[in-house]
């Protein structure tokens, strides 16, 4: 019988009760994926797997994969520039994949775990349904792998450039206003034209594309100096911090995190006119920008609170950077006759924490200690303040 030329077709969505049943099993799927990652990894590399992040973000990854099996719109969300591409792109990072082959293996492990669960749900189904489900899952896995490899290409390309990696903007509200502005800066390159936000694929911690709008709303609700519950854990800059932690661990390089907060900022916002408060906060930001170096990443969580990811910097260099900020801010402005003061906290990778949450907590605690003592920054050794590298501040960034 004449069959004609066979043509390829895009696997169709699988509409089945078995697929629907997997949507409520995200945590189980994530546990299975984590076990598969540990089993596949060489013994010396197993400890590098971000088990805590897999526990947090893994269920969302698994549910996104399952949703894409049954709906074309959900599949498109995983495609390039889709809303869930940033989440899918983290699969390699979560598995601590050190190469493209390792990233592909992490995606295969995810695919195999989902397939095992799906096959169990479809055990009573027609064989044709199983074939269609397998084809559809292969398509979804291919999209996830493509997102992972694009992310790897971006990170590797940025690592070869002279300047720091490009990161997505952290959007926060100005005092008393609902508008938002970019707050995450790469201190080694010129700002975008007309203050356009930079973008570059570093996802929000949760990985969902619409998280920026939620964060902007949170910042607007709590004002320029207030912080809502867990706000610091949901900020976009944490994606950049996690990337730097992975990079530093792989290359055995030091990494530090600094938190700088303007003292009395909350009171200023309450008692001073908006215009004066905005001007004071702008001068604070200017002083911080001036102090950071070209290789650092600056994230302004609010107009009076900033985080600095200090690349290739140990405790001595971090204390020197913090000391430079402490001494430079009072020269910018005074408030009610007294110099402005700041409190600085810092955390060093490996010494104060091995992941983003631990480093953030350690920096917060040290900043509180510095504020309580009134000395600006708590130093382990005053002699460590001799930083051999001068500031790489570019005046063009001040705008």
* pLDDT single digits (tens) 208-253: 333 333 333 333 333 333 444 344 444 567 888 998 899 888 888 8
C-alpha to C-alpha distances, 165 to 237, 239, 355, 388, nearest whole angstrom: 12, 12, 19, 23
Cα dihedral 233, 237, 238, 240 in deg (nearest 10): 180
Question: Between 274 and 305, where is the model more confident?
Answer: 305
Residues 140 and 254 in one domain: no
Residues 40/105, Cβ–Cβ less than 8 Å: yes
Domain boundary among 159, 190, 215: 159
Residue 343 counted as domain residue: yes
Residue 1 counted as domain residue: no
Residues 254 and 383 in one domain: yes
Residue 9 counted as domain residue: no
Residue 11 counted as domain residue: no
Q: What is the CATH number for 385? A: 3.30.70.270
Domain boundary among 159, 185, 211: 159
The lowest-confidence range among 1-5, 74-78, 241-245, 356-360 is 1-5
pLDDT confidence bin for 352, thresholds 50/70/90: very high
Q: What is the CATH number for 118? A: 1.10.490
Residues 80 and 178 in one domain: no
pLDDT of residue 307: 92
Residues 67 and 207 in one domain: no
Residues 120 and 214 in one domain: no
- For the stretch 176-218, pLDDT in tens is 333 233 344 444 433 333 333 333 333 333 333 333 333 333 3
- Average pLDDT over all residues of the chain: 73
Residue 4 counted as domain residue: no
Residues 361 and 288 in one domain: yes
Residue 56 CB contacts under 8 Å (≥ 6 apart), including other chains = none
pLDDT of residue 117: 94
Residues 251 and 388 in one domain: yes
d(CA 97, CA 184): 26
Residue 48 counted as domain residue: yes
Residues 377 and 291 in one domain: yes
Range of the domain at 215: 171-397
Residues 63 and 27 in one domain: yes
Domain count, the chain: 2
pLDDT of residue 349: 94
What does DSSP say about strands 297-302 and 255-262: parallel, antiparallel, or unpaired? unpaired
Residues 342 and 393 in one domain: yes
At 382 the three-state DSSP class reads helix
- For the stretch 91-144, pLDDT in tens is 988 888 888 999 999 999 999 999 999 999 988 888 888 899 999 999 999 999
Mean pLDDT computed over 69-83: 90
- For the stretch 21-35, pLDDT in tens is 899 999 999 999 999
Domain boundary among 107, 139, 159: 159
pLDDT of residue 347: 95
Residue 193 counted as domain residue: yes
Residues 112 and 259 in one domain: no
d(CA 96, CA 282): 39
Residue 3 counted as domain residue: no
pLDDT of residue 280: 78
- For the stretch 277-336, pLDDT in tens is 787 788 888 888 888 887 788 888 888 888 999 988 899 889 988 888 888 776 545 555
Residues 98 and 211 in one domain: no
pLDDT of residue 387: 42
DSSP codes, 4-33: ------PPPP---HHHHHHTT-HHHHHHHH
d(CA 199, CA 193): 13
């Amino acid at each position: 019988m004449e069959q004609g030329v066979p043509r390829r077709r895009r696997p169709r969505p699988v509409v089945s009760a078995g697929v629907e049943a997997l949507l409520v099993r995200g945590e189980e799927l994530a546990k299975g994926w984590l076990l598969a990652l540990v089993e596949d990894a060489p013994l010396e590399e197993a400890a590098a797997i971000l088990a805590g992040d897999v526990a947090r973000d893994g269920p969302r990854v698994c549910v996104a994969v399952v949703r894409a099996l049954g709906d074309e719109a959900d599949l498109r969300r995983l495609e390039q520039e889709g809303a869930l591409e940033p989440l899918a792109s983290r699969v390699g990072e979560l598995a601590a994949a050190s190469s493209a082959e390792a990233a592909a293996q992490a995606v295969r492990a995810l695919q195999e775990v989902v397939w095992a669960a799906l096959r169990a749900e479809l055990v009573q189904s027609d064989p044709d349904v199983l074939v269609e489900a397998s084809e559809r899952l292969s398509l979804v896995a291919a999209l996830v792998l493509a997102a992972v490899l694009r992310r790897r290409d971006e990170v590797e390309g940025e690592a070869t450039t002279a300047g720091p990696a490009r990161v997505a903007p952290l959007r926060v509200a100005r005092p008393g206003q609902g508008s938002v502005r970019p707050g995450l800066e790469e201190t080694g390159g010129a700002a975008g034209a007309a203050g356009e936000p930079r973008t570059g694929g570093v996802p929000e911690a949760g990985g969902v594309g619409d998280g920026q709008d939620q964060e902007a709303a949170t910042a607007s609700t709590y004002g320029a100096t207030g912080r809502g519950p867990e706000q610091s854990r949901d900020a976009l800059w944490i994606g950049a911090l996690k990337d730097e932690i992975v990079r530093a661990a792989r290359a055995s390089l030091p990494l530090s995190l600094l938190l700088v907060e303007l003292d009395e900022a909350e009171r200023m916002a309450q008692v001073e006119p908006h215009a004066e408060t905005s001007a004071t906060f702008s001068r604070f930001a200017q002083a911080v920008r001036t102090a950071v170096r070209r290789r650092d990443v600056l994230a302004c969580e609010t107009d009076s609170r900033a985080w600095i990811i200090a690349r290739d910097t140990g405790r001595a260099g971090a204390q020197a950077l913090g000391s430079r900020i402490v001494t430079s801010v009072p020269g910018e402005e005074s408030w009610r006759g007294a110099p402005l003061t700041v409190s600085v906290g810092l955390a060093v990778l490996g010494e104060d924490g091995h992941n983003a949450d631990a480093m953030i907590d350690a920096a917060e605690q040290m900043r509180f200690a510095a504020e309580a003592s009134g000395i600006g920054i708590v130093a382990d050794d005053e002699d460590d303040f001799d930083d051999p590298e001068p500031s790489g501040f570019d005046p063009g960034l001040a705008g």
